[in-house]
Amino acid sequence: MRSHGSSLEALNRWVDDVARLTEPAAIHWCDGSDAEYAALVETMLASGDLLPLDPEKHPRSYLHRSSPSDVARVEHLTFVCTPEQEDAGPNNHWMAPAEAHAKIDALFAGAMRGRTMYVIPYCMGPIDSPIARCGVEITDSPYVVANMRIMTRMGAQALARIERDGVFVKGLHSTGDLDPERRFIMHFPEELSIKSIGSGYGGNALLGKKCHALRIASHQARREGWLAEHMLIVGIENPKGEKHYIAAAFPSACGKTNLAMLIPTEGYRQAGWKVWTVGDDICWMTPGEDGRLWAINPEAGYFGVAPGTSAKTNPSALATLGHDAIFTNVAVTADNRAWWEGLGEGEPATDWQGRAYDPANGPAAHPNARFTVSAKQCPSWAPESEAPTGVPISAIVFGGRRPSLVPLVFEAKDWAHGVLVGAAMGSETTAAATGAVGVLRRDSMAMKPFCGYNFADYFAHWLSFDKPGAKLPRIFHVNWFRKDDEGRFMWPGYGDNLRVLDWMIQRVEGLAKGTETPIGILPARDELNVEGLDMPPGALDELLRVDVEGWQEELSAIGLYLEGFGERMPERLKAERLRVSKALDAAVARPKASVA
């Protein structure tokens, strides 16, 4: 399916150049058809790259086991290669473009000998959406092709759009020899290109995902006046049938997928509330003619973490996995069903490496075991996910795992304050994770591993959307993870988080007054619906308490964090931090040292 037409000459030349460098045995241009996918699956079943799962429990679903040394993103081997190091910023590993090309091209030389080279044209976002952007990934991994077909709009339609647009992101990938010492993921934002070698793992190999949709797209977005963000998009429909769309950013292990697929509690369900899933991971937002931000989920599927997913924690995700899924590094039961820790049913017979399960070897499923599945299989999938215009965003939510200090919810005073709230967000480590409790890791907008340029410039780009005529979303911060003195979570979470989203929507609609505090606007007494919640006396007051002196220390720490990004840090953000700090100082000077 070699492409024709003048605007595709660059693509043809690039494919020829890559073939000369990598020396494949054959070249296959992917068309995205059902027949092509079926043939790929047969090829991988024959080679052992895929293993069939029980056809009754898992129709047309398969298991893939990756190399034990290749099971996660490798941030220390991930580089942003800009001509000037300052443009990549202290938030990225940097290498000069010429050095990076030379280093990785030496590894690509002959890397595809004896293999088929697949050319994958793909579109991130609905094919006809002006917000969508296209790319082409060249890979020697049929597993990558199969996953890209699920995760993107891939094949002939994407190639036709590339011909129309005349521009695409170039992604070159080879599994190489899977040697961790010969593994790199290089990004060249100025060239709109990515080169990845030595890994078959999703985030390193499915180049449409983090590499394109965040690192390269964040650079494109800055240049073109939009935002590429590590955010879910969820639609909340009230009993009157009105829908509000919320974009939310959380660091890992903070319930992102659970919120994207939130199931209302019984009371809200009976009252007529509905929740719609637009996206679980990535959000591209652009200003519309009406001044609002309109967003698409650039992905067509979910590449989700399996461990911990159960009928209790996320029944929608589990229902989504009923058929046509690819599981990576999960365990299997004796009757050949997928299994992972937290699933809550069955017993593992074989672990993720194919060994007979022995607890002495560690978890049965790898902690980063994954599933790939079409978004349309989700029971709460929103048909608006395919709308070329995207959906209008009413609110942006930031959140982190903070056992103390940070209230259940607060609203930023305005857009600049909201940018500060997003810049400052983070999570405290747990003893299980690091051996040190309470170490705060800041992860601005949950973009620390994914922003393709200097964070200081990124914050300035966010601030640039605040201009005359803009009808920007309100910005909130949530913390589902406050603990009491006994170390117990104070908020039930899961479906009950809709109570907090309900208050946000009331704020958006002007129906809730809220209470002004130095850190932002909190729910006024009785504004948060807690009907039917079994909470100890005083728990809600504690969840909504603002510890002014604690926040003074927090603002000082935020200042030091922002200074770490150097001279490019926008003065407006520094001034905003100072404003909040002074408001806290003034509150301390008043008789009460805490604000309810």
The set of catalytic residues is 254
Tell me: is residue 494 an annotated ligand-binding position: yes
Tell me: is residue 412 an annotated ligand-binding position: no
Tell me: is residue 370 an annotated ligand-binding position: yes
Residues 6+ apart with CB under 8 A from 321: 61, 338, 371, 373, 377
Nearest-angstrom CA–CA distance, 596 and 590: 14
Is 443 buried (19+), middle (13-18) or exposed (0-12) by CB count in 10 A?
A: buried
Tell me: is residue 507 an annotated ligand-binding position: no
Kindly calculate the radius of gyration of the chain based on its CA atoms and give it in whole angstroms.
Answer: 24
Inter-residue contact 497 to 480 (CB < 8 Å): yes
**3-class DSSP string for 330-397:** CEECCCCCEECCCCCCCCCCECCCCCECCHHHCCCCCCCCEEEEEHHHCCCECHHHHCCCCEEEEEEE
Q: State whether the Cα torsion 127-252-338-258 is positive or negative.
A: negative
Tell me: is residue 526 an annotated ligand-binding position: no
Q: For 194-342, where are the alpha helices, taking DSSP H only?
A: 202-205, 217-224, 256-260, 266-271, 315-320
Inter-residue contact 94 to 80 (CB < 8 Å): yes
CA atoms within 13 A on the CB side of 389: 9
Tell me: is residue 453 an annotated ligand-binding position: no
Tell me: is residue 292 an annotated ligand-binding position: no
Tell me: is residue 256 an annotated ligand-binding position: yes
Tell me: is residue 585 an annotated ligand-binding position: no
Tell me: is residue 547 an annotated ligand-binding position: no
126: Cα separation from own chain's centroid: 18
Nearest-angstrom CA–CA distance, 42 and 38: 6
Residues 6+ apart with CB under 8 A from 15: 27, 119, 138
Nearest-angstrom CA–CA distance, 153 and 299: 8
Q: In the numeric block, which tokens belong to residue 34?
A: 């059902």
Tell me: is residue 525 an annotated ligand-binding position: no
Tell me: is residue 502 an annotated ligand-binding position: no
Per-residue burial over 135-171, b = 16 or more CB atoms within 10 Å of its CB, e = otherwise: bbbbbbbbbbbbbbbbbbbbbebbbbbbbeeeebbbb
Tell me: is residue 592 an annotated ligand-binding position: no
Is 97 buried (19+), middle (13-18) or exposed (0-12) by CB count in 10 A?
A: middle
What is the DSSP track for 47-63? HTSSEEPPTTTSTT-EE
Tell me: is residue 496 an annotated ligand-binding position: yes
Longest CA–CA span in the chain (Å) reads 78
Tell me: is residue 369 an annotated ligand-binding position: yes
**Rounded to 5 degrees, what angle do the CA atoms 162, 168, 171 make?**
125
Q: In the numeric block, which tokens belong to residue 110?
A: 């002959």
Tell me: is residue 203 an annotated ligand-binding position: yes
**Helix/strand number for the chain, H first, E second:** 18, 31
Q: Which helix (H) or strand (E) covers residue 275, if one does?
A: strand 274-279
Tell me: is residue 230 an annotated ligand-binding position: yes
Tell me: is residue 329 an annotated ligand-binding position: no
Known binding-site positions for substrate:
73, 201-203, 252, 368-370
Known binding-site positions for GTP:
253-258, 370, 401, 494-497
Known binding-site positions for Mn(2+):
210, 230, 281
Known binding-site positions:
73, 201-203, 210, 230, 252-258, 281, 368-370, 401, 494-497
